[in-house]
Amino acid sequence: MAEVGLNKPVVLKADLAVFCGSKELPRTAITQKFWDYIKANNLQAKTENGKAEGAGKYIVADETLLKLFNATKVTSKSSGKVTDFTGLKLGQTINMLQLASVVGANIE
């Protein structure tokens, strides 16, 4: 039986493929790669645009993540809300719930 939904492999854009070490992965595996990196580098903060503390609901953009975050400009199909991180700067944060938008913007 073919994989479906979040477990179906998707094609990654070049920068995300380098980050993940693969050209094709399921969304669940991509998200796990992000979290492994974020936790290994203590890139979580308790406050918006706070300093990296290793815990909290905000993800701090380092040089590696910034490249992926800056490629993110997506419009929600359900709400029409635009998530635009193209102007995000080094050290700024995104809410961890917005990581799905980053993944979506960096796949084909």
Task: For the domain made up of 5-105, give the CATH fold.
Answer: MDM2 (1.10.245)
Q: Which two tokens stand for residue 69?
A: 């975050």
Query: Which strand (E) or helix (H) includes residue 45?
Result: strand 44-45
Instruction: Report, as an integer, the average pLDDT of 92-108.
Output: 95
Q: Report how far apart the first and last C-alpha atoms of the chain are (Å, whole number).
A: 23
Q: pLDDT, tens digit, for every residue of 6-34?
A: 789 999 999 999 999 999 999 999 999 99
Q: What is the CA radius of gyration of the chain?
A: 14
The pLDDT value given to residue 2: 61
Model confidence over 48-82: pLDDT tens digits? Answer: 999 888 889 999 999 999 999 999 999 988 899 99
